Amino acid sequence: MPGVRRQISSDVKHIVVEMSQQADVPLTQAQIRSLTGVAESTQCQINALYRCMGEVAVCPIECGRRRVMHALDFLEGLVERRPDITLLEMQQALGEVCDVDVSISTICRTLKQVGFTHKQVCTELTDLAYE
């Protein structure tokens, strides 16, 4: 059915490459389609990728979007050295030392993901918000 997309496993892709590159008698694309159910256009894409990259599938280097908070060790070190440090002070330290500009809510979520359950919010923060 044209227009219907499905994920093809790498095992099936390897089989398509092997069938199309058999030394003695390579199969036609129509024969490969009847045996594997992979469309001719997809077979061409798989074979082209295999010839170019030597792989049947391209794996992404990193999944998801690029993370802003990559200074996790730095944050943990700050909390270990000064357990009473506020989120505003952590934000300022990240900006000065790591050159990372993140919101306080990002710092709070990151600390929660690591396992810290409580962090102080200083009154200076509320004062800064209303100035």
pLDDT, tens digit, for every residue of 84-111?
A: 888 899 999 998 988 888 888 888 888 8
State residue 69's pLDDT score: 64
Six-digit token string for 54:
């030597």
CB 36 within 8 A of CB 12: yes
3-state secondary structure at position 124: helix
Residues making up the chain, counted from first to last: 131
What residues does 59 pair with on adjacent strands? none
* pLDDT per residue as tens digits for the range 28-66: 889 888 988 898 998 899 998 888 888 888 776 666 666
Closest CA to 32 of 7, 15, 46, 48: 15
pLDDT of residue 92: 92
Strand partners, 103: none
Query: What's the whole-model pTM score?
Result: 0.45
Q: How far apart (Å, rounded) are the C-alpha atoms in residues 4 and 40?
A: 14
